[in-house]
């Protein structure tokens, strides 16, 4: 279904349940697509468009409006965009921002820029050029670029990514590139499959993996994990447990 936003001066809350995706049509022409298990607040004011991603994942297709910056708050991270399509995935330990079109600027939540993002005078929509650490452009992301920001504010950039894969969840695919197993399992559990999947030990949780999985088929992920050296999958008492082979069995 599609929600239509009204009463623009107020904060409005939107929540998706287990295995549910919803589309939100904003009055400014922007579109938001919420993944399962997500919570979003929206307020479209006269001078700014403010959104808070409290939990989960959302894809934003932003309508250009230079007079009203479009800002997404995700924990301690602030993402500001203009004429942009980007994805934000908020997890317990980090937030990932991926850009498909245009450009976004990432800052600490208490350092919101007053103007739309620009990178060395370039057109944010061109996707040309690369940002360099230590410059004002270091926090500008362009198409095919992604940033992971942890709870301390540390930012790790990745470039040259597959733009189509960045929002594959909208087509019920989960794409993971060098991500900890804990985040992969969380992505599947967000869809509330029964039984839920649990990781028994910290060593297993920290293992980083890459893969493309059908969100409706957690068994494909479990089969993949069970074949990896050092990991094992156990089913017991209605639970699915992943653990390190050298760890004590749960």
Of residues 233 and 5, more confidence is placed in 233
**pLDDT level of residue 3 (50, 70, 90 thresholds):** low
> In this predicted model, what pLDDT tens digit does every residue of 186-233 receive, in sequence order?
888 887 667 889 999 999 999 998 888 888 888 888 988 988 888 999
pLDDT of residue 102 exceeding 60 = yes
**pLDDT level of residue 19 (50, 70, 90 thresholds):** confident
Residue 199: the pLDDT is 94
pLDDT of residue 137 exceeding 70 = no
**Out of 67-71, 158-162, 165-169, 180-184, least confident range:** 165-169
pLDDT of residue 72 exceeding 90 = yes
**pLDDT level of residue 130 (50, 70, 90 thresholds):** very low
**Out of 62-71, 83-92, 114-123, 218-227, least confident range:** 114-123
Whether cis (ω within 30° of 0) applies to the bond prior to 235 is no
Query: How far is residue 53's CA from residue 166's CA, in Å, rounded to a whole number?
Result: 18
User: Which pair of structure tokens corresponds to residue 143?
Assistant: 């198409």
Inter-residue long-range contacts of 160-168, CB under 8 Å, 24+ positions, other chains counted: 161/98, 163/100, 165/212, 166/87, 166/98, 166/99, 166/100, 167/33, 167/59, 167/87, 167/98, 167/100, 168/212
**Out of 57-61, 110-114, 141-145, 164-168, least confident range:** 110-114
Mean pLDDT of the chain: 81
User: Which pair of structure tokens corresponds to residue 49?
Assistant: 């468009």
9: CB partners within 8 A, 6+ apart = 43, 44, 45
Residue 121: the pLDDT is 35
Rg (CA), the chain: 19
Residue 116: the pLDDT is 46
Query: How far is residue 5's CA from residue 44's CA, in Å, rounded to a whole number?
Result: 9
pLDDT of residue 107 exceeding 80 = yes
State pTM to two decimals. 0.70
């Amino acid at each position: 279904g599609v929600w239509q936003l009204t009463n623009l001066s107020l904060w409005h809350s939107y929540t998706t349940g287990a295995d549910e995706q919803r589309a939100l049509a904003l009055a400014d022409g922007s579109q938001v697509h919420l993944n399962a298990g997500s919570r979003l607040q929206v307020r479209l004011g006269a001078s700014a468009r403010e959104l808070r991603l409290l939990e989960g994942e959302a894809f934003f297709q932003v309508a250009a409006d230079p007079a009203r910056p479009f800002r997404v708050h995700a924990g301690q991270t602030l993402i500001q965009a203009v004429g942009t399509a980007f994805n934000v995935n908020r997890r317990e330990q980090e937030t990932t921002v991926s850009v498909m079109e245009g450009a976004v600027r990432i800052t600490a939540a208490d350092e919101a820029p007053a103007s739309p993002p620009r990178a060395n005078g370039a057109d944010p929509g061109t996707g040309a050029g690369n940002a360099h650490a230590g410059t004002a452009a270091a926090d500008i992301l362009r198409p095919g670029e992604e940033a992971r920001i942890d709870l301390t504010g540390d930012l790790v950039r990745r470039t040259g990514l597959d733009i189509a894969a960045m929002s594959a969840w909208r087509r019920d695919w989960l794409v993971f590139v060098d991500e900890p197993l804990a985040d992969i399992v969380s992505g599947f559990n967000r869809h509330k499959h029964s039984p839920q999947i649990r990781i028994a030990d910290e060593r297993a949780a920290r293992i980083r993996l890459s893969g493309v999985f059908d969100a409706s088929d957690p068994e494909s992920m479990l089969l993949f994990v069970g074949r990896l050296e050092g990991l094992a999958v156990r089913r017991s008492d209605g639970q699915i447990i992943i653990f390190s082979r050298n760890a004590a069995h749960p």
